[in-house]
Structure 1
């Protein structure tokens, strides 16, 4: 097993409108991107658990030309509201760092 932060080049959170948040997971190597994507380790259920949102509202897409995975999910509060602690969503990626990805040198 390997932690996502140890194989991804960049993991970042972004604002995706006032009611949605997105995360981009990017890789330097096509092989690393494909291994993570095909592992099935990053699921709506896992993201829902990490961020306490409904799994039915989590979307995960691959974007092979950029060796990237995008996660879309609802925000808990509207961006910019008094309860919002991170308007741009830049600091919300931390729970993704330690996702364990099945990994061995044999694959």
Structure 2
């Protein structure tokens, strides 16, 4: 079966703080067909996010599909609180990289 990389069908893949103890991962798709493909595939789920980020599924707080924006949002527990000793990305803006190589099976 054919696959496509998430970065090929998304216009934005980003991360950001969702408070000092959480990170939000946003994927905003180029168009509704791309969003629908990602939703149908179910590839953006707690198991996948946990695997990509090396965390337990319990640390994946939630995943929300938001059709009006053709977007999927996942929120995870930060490995270190924002600004804590040992934390390397105070704004959480550089944590989206594991999503870039994620592939989706096409219909």
Q: Classify the TM-score, shorter chain.
A: over 0.9
Structure 1 unmatched runs, 5+:
none
Q: 4+ residue runs of structure 1 moved beyond 4 angstroms? A: none
Partner of 1:83: 86
Structure 2 unmatched runs, 5+:
none
Q: Describe how 1:42-61 pairs up with structure 2 within 5 A.
A: 42-58=44-60, 59-61=62-64
Give per-residue Cα distances to partners, 1:3-56, cap 9 Å, x unaligned.
101111100000011110001100121111011111111111111111121112
State the SS of the aligned residue for 1:83.
coil
Going by fraction, where is strand more abundant, 1 or 2?
2
Offset at 1:96?
Answer: 0.2
State the SS of the aligned residue for 2:76.
strand
Give the TM-score normalised by the residue count of structure 1: 0.93
Partner of 1:10: 12
Partner of 1:98: 101
| RMSD between superposed Cα atoms in Å | 0.9
Distance (whole Å) between structure 2 residues aligned to residue 14 and residue 38 of structure 1: 25
